[in-house]
Amino acid sequence: MTLIIAISPDIKCKIKPQLYDGSDDLEEYLTQLYLLAKLNDWEISRFGSINWSEVFRAELQTRVSLRNESLSEQAQTLKKRTRRAYPGTTPIVRDTLALDYFIDAITKTDIRLRLREVGPKTIYENEHIAVRLEALRLADRPKGRSVRIANTCDTDDSEMVSEIKEIKLGIKIYKMK
């Protein structure tokens, strides 16, 4: 949902907000509602999800990679949830928290440890490195080549040696002819 409103003191227009159905981002909807309230000179009560920050923090702490979720999608979700969980913090602090939550949410131990070793400074750098590591990990996976074991028989070594000698003798005789 995108709503662009140019607020000018000379122009007054009455625009009603859409009903919130839960499918869009709550923060975005409340920002648009706030702008409409200001534009329409409505009594402004406190909008926002500050009281919900504890819920969003709990979600961040227990978040793990979802099945079929790309690392890019996971990073976007965590950035959005971190903004909701810490609404009063600076962008630098939120990015640092999102970076830590992103690393913690990765279920592949080798990728998570490698990211901690590399120590990316931003979530964007972290996302880029994680995607690259995931691609390298997938490329390094065995290609489904299976090795067959030939049938073996339990024979005596002496029997095998004598059979080999017979075969060699047969080859020599064949070459002489």
Instruction: Tell me the three-class secondary structure of 95-154, residue by residue.
Output: HHHHHHHHHHHCCCHHHHHHHHHHCCCCHHHHHHHHHHHHHHHHHCCCCCCCCCCCCCCC
What pTM did the predictor assign? Answer: 0.51
> Within a domain: residue 175?
no
Mean pLDDT, the chain, rounded, equals: 76
CB atoms within 10 A of CB 95: 19
Q: Provide, rounded to the nearest whole percent, the portion of the chain with pLDDT above 90.
A: 0
Do 34 and 19 belong together in one domain?
yes
Q: Is the residue at 83 inside a domain?
A: yes
Pair (56, 135) in one structural domain: yes
pLDDT in tens, 109-133: 888 888 888 888 888 888 888 888 8
| Mean pLDDT, range 89-111, rounded to an integer | 87
**Residue 39 counted as domain residue:** yes
Residues spanned by the domain of 19: 8-48
Predicted pLDDT at 2: 47
- Rounded Cα distance between 143 and 120, Å, is 31
Whether the pLDDT of residue 140 is over 60: the answer is: yes
The pLDDT tens digits of the residues spanning 16-69 come to 777 777 677 776 777 777 777 777 777 666 555 556 777 788 888 887 877 788
Distance between start and end Cα atoms, the chain? 91
Are 57 and 134 within one domain?
Answer: yes
| C-beta of residue 65 within 8 angstroms of C-beta of residue 26 | no
pLDDT, position 170: 80
Query: Looking at the domain assignment, is residue 110 inside a domain?
Result: yes
Total count of domains within the chain: 2
Residue 104 has pLDDT above 80, yes or no: yes
Residue 20 domain flag? yes
* 99 found inside a domain: yes
Assigned domain for 75 exists: yes
Rounded Cα distance between 48 and 42, Å, is: 17
Residue 44 and residue 100 in one domain: no
